[in-house]
Amino acid sequence: MVISLAVLLVPIGAFFLLWGFLTSDQPVNGVDPRPAYTEAEGLGLDAPAPEGLPDGWDPLSAQTTQGDGAVTLRVGYQTPSGGGMQYVAGDGLAEEILVAELRDGPRPTGAVTLDGREWMSYLTVDGNPALVYTDESMTLVVHGDASMAELEAFAKALG
């Protein structure tokens, strides 16, 4: 019986190892986030788009949602180091946006001033960094498993 299982499992294992090796250097399939920004603006959310990001920032997803009188824009990125990052802009209650994006229990780690905006930095329960900016019109959240330096670079690109 062991030989029968080995005859089945060895080729399957070899296939998955070979597949992982062959697809490890494949480029990511990006999306154009501009339609999501346009939709958000049409719904009354004037979310800033990043400008001047260096090569290596690849948008992977973009979505605008509306519900309970609030508009939310979400754009997911792969960072230059290969990490994942989510940019969220919303005009709903800041507390609700924070709970939705960072879940319960993010730990504040201080304020960071980037290009004249004061962002609050957090560490999520997963140990990932996050930056949050809030004013009277919207809340911006930048978070993910990217480094804090990459999150700060992205936040600076928001102007």
Query: Is pLDDT at 100 greater than 80 in this prediction?
Result: yes
* Cα–Cα distance, 116 to 156 (Å, whole number): 9
The predicted model gives 127-136 an average pLDDT of: 94
Query: CB of 40 within 8 A of CB of 73?
Result: yes
What is the per-residue pLDDT for 7? 72
| Residue 49 lies inside a defined structural domain of this protein | yes
Query: Is pLDDT at 25 greater than 60 in this prediction?
Result: no
Number of domains forming the structure of the chain: 1
Query: Is pLDDT at 147 greater than 80 in this prediction?
Result: yes
pLDDT above 90: percentage of residues in the chain: 67
| Residue 21 lies inside a defined structural domain of this protein | no
Which of 7-11, 21-25, 142-146, 153-157 is predicted with the least confidence, judged by mean pLDDT? 21-25
**Which CATH number covers residue 140?**
3.30.200.100
CA atoms within 13 A on the CB side of 131: 24
| Residue 119 lies inside a defined structural domain of this protein | yes
Q: Which residue has the higher pLDDT, 10 or 55?
A: 55
| Residue 5 lies inside a defined structural domain of this protein | no
Range of the domain at 86: 34-157
* Selection from 77, 29, 74 nearest residue 54 by Cα: 77
| Residue 24 lies inside a defined structural domain of this protein | no
pTM comes to: 0.81
Which of 13-17, 66-70, 144-148 is predicted with the least confidence, judged by mean pLDDT? 13-17
Whole-number average pLDDT of the chain: 88
What is the per-residue pLDDT for 76? 97
Query: CB of 114 within 8 A of CB of 133?
Result: no
| Residue 22 lies inside a defined structural domain of this protein | no
